[in-house]
Amino acid sequence: MPFSILAVLAAAVSAFLVGGLWYSPILLGRVWQRLVGLEDEALSRGLARTFLLAGIASLVMALNLAAFIGPDAGVGFATFAGAAAGLGWVAPALGMTFAFERRPVGLWLVDAGYHIVSFTLMGALIGLLQ
């Protein structure tokens, strides 16, 4: 196998945990909630499905990033690769979609910021645990 399963699992869990903190009321949860127009009651419905899909997505992202980074990368390159994926692929892709959907720039900043931080941390963990 070209990458460590432990590294992939740790990276996936980190993305899931960062999302939990990022979108919590402690950080940007209330801002995000206002920007997407969701009330507390709507957020509480379907949580099991939401968390299941988020967990699967985190695992797929971590697997893809680990395959991209490769088994011999150091922490520096892996961290840079994660940041580059967040800044160079995910944030612009979200920006393009949000522009056509006429979503607020603030929502793009919240969501893209999460992915930049999340991919950077995933890269660091993959590089550290490979």
- The whole-angstrom separation of Cα 3 and Cα 69 is 9
Predicted TM-score (pTM) of this structure: 0.94
Tell me: the pLDDT tens digits for 67-102?
999 999 999 999 999 999 999 999 999 999 999 999
CB–CB of 15/121 below 8 Å? yes
Domain segments of the chain: what residues? 5-129
Neighbouring residues of 53: CB distance < 8 A, sequence distance ≥ 6: none
Average pLDDT over residues 102-113: 98
**CA separation, residue 42 to residues 21, 53, 62 (Å):** 19, 17, 29
- Tell whether the model's pLDDT for residue 10 goes beyond 90: yes
CA 52 to chain CA centroid, Å, is 15
- If pLDDT is split at 50, 70 and 90, which confidence band does 2 have? confident
48-65 average pLDDT score? 95
CB atoms within 10 A of CB 54: 15
Condensed to tens digits (0 to 9), the pLDDT of residues 17-56 reads: 999 999 999 999 999 999 999 998 888 888 899 999 999 9
pLDDT at 1 over 80: no
Give Dmax (Cα) for the chain: 47
Average pLDDT over residues 51-69: 96
